[in-house]
Chain A
Amino acid sequence: MASNNKLIEVENLKVLFFLDEGIVDAVNGVSFNIMQGRTLGLVGESGCGKSVTAQAILRIIPPPGKITDGTILFFKEISNGKLEPVDLVQYKKDAKEIRAIRGKEISMIFQEPMTSFSPLYTIGAQIIEAVVLHQKISKKEAREYTVDLLAKVGIPKPERRIDEYPFELSGGLRQRAMIAMALSCQPRLLIADEPTTALDVTVQAQILDLLLNLQQELGMAILLITHDLGVIAEMAQEVIVMYLGNIVEQADIVTIFHNPLHPYTRALLKSIPRIEASSDTRLGFIEGVVPDPFEKLHGCPFYPRCKESDGVRCTGKQVAAPSLQEVKSGHKVACYLYSEDSKGE
């Protein structure tokens, strides 16, 4: 499988939430690609739109959220390596076409496995349900298959664990069971939304290691959503940094960590306590807070908190938000400090 093949192409995706208090631009025209077999990291603070972007791909945005613009092309394999793009935005949320992709070609794991499993059914019953839904096999075969899956994700005594309820498993085992469910149909894309945030560090290391091994074995792509840059550094090859519904920077993993350009990315990296750093160095921090989502900002959305801006071209009534532009090969940044056209479009 050629690894530079596109699996997902998102173009100018806009998601709005129509609330009583007003309209929130949760995702404000983002474009990016997910390559086959690669891991794309999506980082940002709470409310930046990273989870909504993932939900848009699966078409599971909760109401009152709506995709209002853009395309999400999924390159579906029709026969022996032949790919055909399907626009996921074209279909209704519960259309047959979407349901055939959701859970089968693209599946998702969530932050808190306790709340994503139903407490009323055994984990086996819940995984078998997904298997029977998407594959033409009998219940009995599905059960054997599920036992194998549970063994594969490192759950000890899978033939016994399959009949246990979610509350009987520890946090780490529950997350493994969730991964087993997500992988049950051998998806081509796994969306992992904060997969280790609720776990302890030693368990986190186990789960990340498991995901890396499974990815190598199954050749799937991973869209890894997290606020934890450490997890990104361990897992991803490409990184997208989001702020207030916009992509502010996109580059390969080494560039993001060693040569970040956007003031937000730089400030974010300086604000994390590092285990390898001396404790005498004072943490940098970003002034202020993420603005209220109802507030409509002119110019660069990061301007009110930006320390590097010269203040001239970044804000003002006439100034548009900076667009994402390629400044070096493969390195895109949305910041007026790096663009030629200082007044936007």
Chain B
Amino acid sequence: MNRMIDQYLLEVSGLKKYFPIKRGIFRRIVGQLKAVDDVNFSIKAGETFGLVGESGCGKTTTGLVILRGIEPTAGKTVFHLNGKTYDVNQLHSKELKSFRKNMQMIFQDPNSSLNPRMTTLESIGEPILVNDIAKGIELEQQVKELMQMVGLNRKYLRRYPHAFSGGQRQRICIARALALRPKLIVADEPVSALDVSIQAQILNLLKDLREKLNLTYLFITHDLSVTKYISNRVAVMYVGKIVEIAKTKDIFHKPLHPYTEALLSAVPKLDPLITRKWQLLEGDVADPANPPSGCYFHPRCRYAKAICKEQSPELRDVGDEHHIRCHLAEELSLSGIPGGN
């Protein structure tokens, strides 16, 4: 990879999404569920940025807020495109509509994200048609090119979703996301609903498309092995906050946050000869509506000290593009996945 990937495409700072908790007949607001709580990260043009965490940690909400699928409570989402900067959160609805073609989303379940009454041509062609880019024969031609790009046979142009397998449906979704030549693709668990052999096909396709079309991915998943395969850098989320960001190699082999370490040790190893050192986490993920004091992870953290209970740590830079939200990062020597260098 000798292409320049140092230019930032997206900078997210102070991003927050709070959902009000309402009670009683007057729907009085009694609290805030901090689904995304002060999230900061930047994605370089041409890289895949992995966002991992367990269910309910806010990773999907983060993806949606960036695309303004839902409105953020606060924060900035800045795009750098062709030498100009755009703050997505400041755009008015009309500007947003035309800006949206730069950012697209791929969802987990291709069965529910395709309209069963629309043919492949209609599904993939819809964004092109809506944006007045092409119609008629030309539209058909563009859709055919997109189908070829994602490895679908062109003759399936007029088929309905039910006639495709899960993997093929996900290819249709990818083709639709690519239709407007976006710069950023937010992929939310794009392979989780697929069988392993199909999962590999789709992951390889996404990797190839990134190279070919110079795409940038925000890749959201709960599957650490998938993240490792596809990402250049990875952020780990826990209860609405990013707890660690680093290059993929560092996250997996030299993690600095105890939560990352516990996540890594929980992944089943694909080799029966490796004897397991399970580091079981006690209890459940903290309730984002009623989080614990100090560091949200401290009740489950095996290294927790008094300070962890009292003070909430900040996400800080510890060098070499490694950011960490832990008071004890320098003192601990945590173990990651063996090997790596």
Interface string of A273-301 (1 = CB under 8 A from B): 11111110011111001100000000000
State how many angstroms separate the Cβ of B334 from the closest Cβ of chain A: 15
Known contacts A271-B196, A283-B203, A286-B197; is-contact A258 B273 (Cβ 8 Å) = yes
Beta-carbon contact of B222 and A201 below 8 Å:
yes
Beta-carbon contact of A209 and B273 below 8 Å:
no
Known contacts A257-B271, A275-B337, A286-B197; is-contact A202 B266 (Cβ 8 Å) = yes
Contact of A285 among B165, B201, B278 (CB under 8 A): B201
30 A-B pairs with C-beta separation under 8 A: A200-B55, A200-B285, A201-B224, A201-B266, A202-B262, A202-B280, A205-B265, A205-B266, A205-B268, A206-B281, A227-B195, A233-B269, A233-B272, A257-B272, A267-B197, A268-B196, A271-B197, A271-B199, A271-B200, A272-B225, A273-B229, A275-B264, A276-B270, A276-B271, A276-B338, A279-B230, A282-B204, A285-B197, A285-B204, A286-B200
Beta-carbon contact of B204 and A202 below 8 Å:
no
State how many angstroms separate the Cβ of A206 from the closest Cβ of chain B: 6
Q: Is A126 an interface residue (CB 8 A)?
A: no
Q: Is B263 an interface residue (CB 8 A)?
A: yes
Beta-carbon contact of A275 and B273 below 8 Å:
no
The 8 residue pairs across chains A and B that have the minimum distance between CB atoms:
A230-B268, A285-B200, A271-B200, A205-B266, A286-B197, A200-B54, A273-B229, A45-B195
Beta-carbon contact of B167 and A170 below 8 Å:
no
CA of A209 to CA of B197, assembled, Å: 27
Known contacts A200-B55, A230-B267; is-contact A279 B272 (Cβ 8 Å) = no
Known contacts A233-B272, A253-B272, A275-B252; is-contact A46 B280 (Cβ 8 Å) = no
* Smallest CB gap from B164: residue in A: A289
* Smallest CB gap from A170: residue in B: B284
Known contacts A201-B263, A205-B266; is-contact A276 B278 (Cβ 8 Å) = no
- For B, the interface residue count at a CB cutoff of 8 angstroms equals 48
Q: Is B135 an interface residue (CB 8 A)?
A: no
Contact of B225 among A204, A274, A290 (CB under 8 A): A274
Beta-carbon contact of B271 and A233 below 8 Å:
yes
State how many angstroms separate the Cβ of A30 from the closest Cβ of chain B: 20
Residues of chain B within 8 A (CB-CB) of A137 are none
Q: Is B22 an interface residue (CB 8 A)?
A: no
Beta-carbon contact of B266 and A230 below 8 Å:
no
Beta-carbon contact of B338 and A234 below 8 Å:
no
Residues of chain A within 8 A (CB-CB) of B223 are 273
CA of A208 to CA of B276, assembled, Å: 12
Q: Is B74 an interface residue (CB 8 A)?
A: no
Beta-carbon contact of A275 and B284 below 8 Å:
no
CA of A290 to CA of B201, assembled, Å: 13
Beta-carbon contact of B272 and A230 below 8 Å:
no
Beta-carbon contact of B204 and A279 below 8 Å:
no
State how many angstroms separate the Cβ of B227 from the closest Cβ of chain A: 9
Residues of chain B within 8 A (CB-CB) of A231 are 268
Q: Is B228 an interface residue (CB 8 A)?
A: yes
Beta-carbon contact of B197 and A234 below 8 Å:
no
Q: Is B226 an interface residue (CB 8 A)?
A: yes
Residues of chain A within 8 A (CB-CB) of B280 are 202, 205-206, 209
State how many angstroms separate the Cβ of B269 from the closest Cβ of chain A: 6
CA of A278 to CA of B203, assembled, Å: 15
CA of A275 to CA of B338, assembled, Å: 10
Q: Is A228 an interface residue (CB 8 A)?
A: yes
Contact of B270 among A200, A227, A274, A290 (CB under 8 A): A274
Q: Is A179 an interface residue (CB 8 A)?
A: no
Known contacts A267-B197, A271-B197; is-contact A229 B270 (Cβ 8 Å) = yes
Interface string of B69-91 (1 = CB under 8 A from A): 00000000000000000000000
